[in-house]
Amino acid sequence: MKGVILAGGTGSRLHPLTRITNKHLLPLYDRPMINWAIEAVVKAGITELMLVTGGTHAGEFLRLCGNGQEFGIDLLSYGYQDRPGGIAEALGLAAHFVDGEPVLVMLADNVVEGSLRPMVEAFRADPHGARILLTPVDDDEHLRHLGVPTFDGDRIVDIVEKPEHPASKFGVTGIYCYDADVFDVIPDLVPSGRGELEITDVNNHYIAQGAMTYGVLEGFWGDAGESIDAYYAVNDFVRLHGANKG
């Protein structure tokens, strides 16, 4: 199983901090944000990774991560997204690297308290379709900034991005497992109103095929790129409690 960490985007929600660097190179407690994502994937048992980024600061990831060996990575590749074309487009750049294997995809601004290993092991046991990681969210206002699943019993029947009226109390994190067929799905996507290929459309494709499963994350989850306030809230949590435990 391969791992793909997506570290692109303009970081506009973290301006002015991101006027001088990629948001995933900003510090979270005692290390750059990207380090936490790499650690999460490696601790889940995946040691062949591709890091996809873009923009004018892409070379700094190579300076920071090198060949990845100091992070426990056996093979580290890099991909470059030359325009802000969306999460799904960025994932598409990893098709050759993944080379027919199942893949764990993680947005590099996602930070978790616990381990991703249970999710990875569940997908390895049945590496077909897709598996997403949900997090409980009580606050409807927060849910309006996330992808929110609609359930029929225990089955997800739809995911709506940034819903005005959330259909459940769960948010979709930026952590996904896919079979290799995902790279056949992406070319057929239609760009959204903002001109990007959306990962929610990928997930809804798998839902329509009856090929979507999910896990529910235990412990803290935060999106450090959601806003300035969220960035500092995640920083404070990691400083006090750590991350990627277990």
Over the stretch 68-97, which tens digit does the pLDDT of each residue have?
A: 999 999 999 999 999 889 999 999 999 999
pLDDT confidence of residue 9? 84
C-alpha triplet 37, 93, 32: angle, nearest 5° = 25
Q: Work out the mean pLDDT of the chain and round it to a whole number.
A: 96
Give the predicted TM-score (pTM) of the model.
Answer: 0.97
Please name the residue that has the structure tokens 């009580």.
Answer: 138
pLDDT confidence of residue 10? 77
pLDDT confidence of residue 246? 81
| Domain spans in the chain, listed from the N-terminal domain onward | 2-241
Stretches where the chain sits below pLDDT 70 are none
The 10 Å Cβ neighbour count of residue 228 is 12
CA contacts within 13 A on the Cβ side of 21? 12
Helix (H, G, I), strand (E, B) or coil at 193: coil
Over the stretch 179-190, which tens digit does the pLDDT of each residue have?
A: 999 999 999 999
Whether 196 and 86 have beta carbons less than 8 Å apart is answered as yes
Domain spanning 2-241: CATH 3.10.110.10: no
Q: Which residues, in sequence order, are CB contacts of 18 under 8 Å at separation 6+?
A: 10, 11, 12, 26
Q: Report the 3 state secondary structure along 162-220.
A: CCCCCCCCEEEEEEEEECCCHHHHHHHCCCCCCCCCCHHHHHHHHHHCCCEEEEECCCC
- Enter the tokens of residue 73: 């990575």
